Structure 1
Amino acid sequence: MRVHVVSDVHGNSRDLAKAGDGAEALVCLGDLILFLDYADHSRGIFPDLFGEANADRIVELRTARRFDEARELSAKLWAGIDRRSATEAAVRKQYAELFAAFPAPTYATYGNVDMPPLWPEYAGPGITVLDGETVDIGGWRFGFVGGGLRTPMRTPYEIDDETYAAKIAALGEVDVLCSHIPPEVPELCYDTVARRFERGSPALLEAVRATQPRFHLFGHVHQPLHSRMRIGATECVNVGHFAATGTPWVLEW
């Protein structure tokens, strides 16, 4: 059995269309939307609306962890614009392209910058969306936990720790634990380019230690200090920043 796994697609529909080639299934761990590309500030919804110079400035503020100033700039730019409708229109355009690129079968969960209420409109036949749910793929049980935890960034699909932990608990024992964010392990949470720790989940770490799945697969941290680590019998793997690499991670058994 061969399964390809991607995460942090961030608008890369071109490579997504080829991501399932040679595999029996594709697994996607979320973050389909591209709001702002930290490597190329000309790409994404934010610069499309407000220009590259403002994108440069907001990246500078966020990277410096000056989140209050970043929010003030954002509020100033959005003044007089219907933020909800403008954002939804841009997201819908991206989702139409991205969901059309998914091969069948695809098993997907949400990232922290995704908008789950829109997914049912675009996830057609052959695309199974899972969050706090399990599915059998090739005789192995895969469990999926979508979204991220609350942060000062206030991205669209951040949830409280208790709700997130409840989704993990609902999975029970699985062969492959799939989430968007990593477990709360410093080496797996630190982004070497952004120079900050992203939020990992203590409940994911607890579940890995308690149930010892064969693999724990995740993304979210684009340039991790460590891309993989063994915790007991479990191989924890950051499957990579697909928007930049265009290459899926391969799982075979």
Structure 2
Amino acid sequence: MIFISDIHHGLSGLKELPINKGPVVILGDLINWIDYRDGSGIARDVFGDQNIDKLIMYRKNHDFSSRKDLWKELFSNDPEKKQLQIEEAVELQYEEVFCELINHEVWIIPGNVDSASIMQNLAGDNIKFVDAKIIDYEGYKFGFAGGGVPTPINARGELSEEEFNKKLNSLKGVDIICTHAPPLVEELVTDVITNKIEQGWASLADFIANNSPTISLFGDVHQPKATRWRIGKTECINVGYNRATKNYIDLKDLIYD
């Protein structure tokens, strides 16, 4: 079993995944809305270079009010056409990602940019959606809780803290808890490249403190200040920004680490 996260339509990284490692567990964010390193993605294709360059600047400067206003302005001009363009681009990216994964057994939870319904409609028989489930594998109980932390952007895959906490409460007793976003710990949610404190789950931090799973696995924060952190007895691990690094984590390395 190997774990990856934040594919963001990075097809080259998927081509390099090993075949003989068991299930590929994807911890969310399969599509590329905006790559803040170079501006590529669905948003640039739909809204153009100049607007996306502004959005990136606002994000870097933590000017979320201007960013939100610009998004509202961009969608106000022929919103039905824009939404259709976005949906078509989203579906195409999912199709291309799933095509690269056709020779793998894949377990998926959604991230903050994901549409669970579109993924489920397009996925092949090799894809298993494991959100809110407990699965026994090789003597370990894995719990899965997908979705993104709520933000002013209101991305399609976001959940309220209350909704996420309800999901977590159905996963007590697991050895390994798998989520998209990290627990709310400053070192795990601070992105050192974008100079931004990202989002983390307060309820996940509480779940870990109260239930002491052996390992917490997640992604979401692309360049965190810390990739590993300990909450009590639990080792918290960011599995990496696969689009940029092509990184994956092997279950065997976690067990024998």
Q: TM-score range by the shorter chain?
A: over 0.9
Deviation at 1:132, TM superposition (A): 1.3
* Mapping 1:29-44, distance limit 5 Å: 29-41=27-39, 43-44=40-41
Q: Partner of 1:71 in structure 2?
A: 68
Q: How does 1:73-222 map to 2 (within 5 A)?
A: 73-78=70-75, 79-82=77-80, 83-102=82-101, 103-222=103-222
Distance in structure 1 (CA, Å) of the matches to 2:16 and 2:138: 21
Q: Provide the C-alpha distance between the structure 1 equivalents of 2:170 and 2:221, rounded to a whole number of angstroms.
A: 25
SS at match of 1:148: coil
Structure 1 unmatched runs, 5+: none
- For residue 62 of structure 1, the aligned residue among 59, 63, 66 is 59
- Please report how far the alpha carbon of residue 7 of structure 1 lies from its aligned counterpart in structure 2 after TM superposition: 0.5
Query: CA contact under 8 A between 1:219 and 1:240: conserved in structure 2?
Result: yes
Write out per-residue CA displacement over residues 68-89 of structure 1, whole angstroms, 9 at most, x where no aligned residue: 2222222333312423222111
Q: Is the 8 A contact 1:20 1:26 kept in 2?
A: no
Distance 2:74 2:160 in 1: 28
Is the CA contact 1:19–1:247 (under 8 Å) kept in the aligned structure 2? no
The two structures have a TM-score, normalised by structure 1, of 0.94
| Amino acid in the other structure paired with 2:210 | A
Alignment TM-score, normalising by the size of structure 2: 0.92
What SS does the corresponding residue of 2:136 show, helix, strand or coil? strand
* Partner in structure 2 of residue 10 of structure 1: 8
Is the contact between residue 4 and residue 19 of structure 1 (CA under 8 Å) also seen in structure 2? no
Contact map agreement 2:28 2:108 (CA 8 A) in 1: yes
Stretch moving more, 219-228 or 124-133? 124-133
Task: Give the drift of 1:186.
Answer: 0.8
Aligned: 1:236 with 2:233: no
RMSD: 1.4
Report Cα offsets for 1:141-185 as digits up to 9, x if no partner: 111110112112321111111111000011121111000000011
Q: Identify the residue that residue 223 of structure 1 maps to in structure 2.
A: 223
- Structure 1 residue 215: deviation in Å? 0.9
In the aligned structure 1, how far is the partner of 2:13 from the partner of 2:137? 23
In structure 2, what is the equivalent of residue 45 of structure 1?
42
For residues 138 and 15 of structure 2, the distance between their equivalents in structure 1, rounded to whole angstroms, comes to 22
Quick one: which amino acid aligns to residue 215 of structure 1? I
Cα distance in 1 for residues equivalent to 2:52 and 2:218: 27
Task: Report the Cα offset of residue 133 of structure 1.
Answer: 1.1
**Distance in 1 separating the partners of 2:97 and 2:183:** 27
What amino acid does structure 2 have at the position aligned with 1:64?
N
Q: For structure 1, which segment, 15-24 or 59-68, has the greater mean C-alpha deviation from structure 2 after superposition?
A: 15-24
Q: Is 131-140 or 168-177 further displaced after alignment?
A: 131-140
Between the two proteins, what is the percent identity of the paired residues?
35
Q: What's the CA shift for 1:203?
A: 1.2
Query: In the alignment, residue 144 of structure 2 is paired with which amino acid?
Result: F
1:202, distance to aligned residue in structure 2 (A): 1.3
Output the amino acid matched with 1:62.
Answer: R
Moved more, 70-79 or 175-184: 70-79
Query: Between Structure 1 and Structure 2, how many residues are aligned?
Result: 250
CA distance in 2, matches of 1:141, 1:24: 16
- Note if contact 2:177-2:215 (Cα within 8 Å) is conserved in structure 1: yes
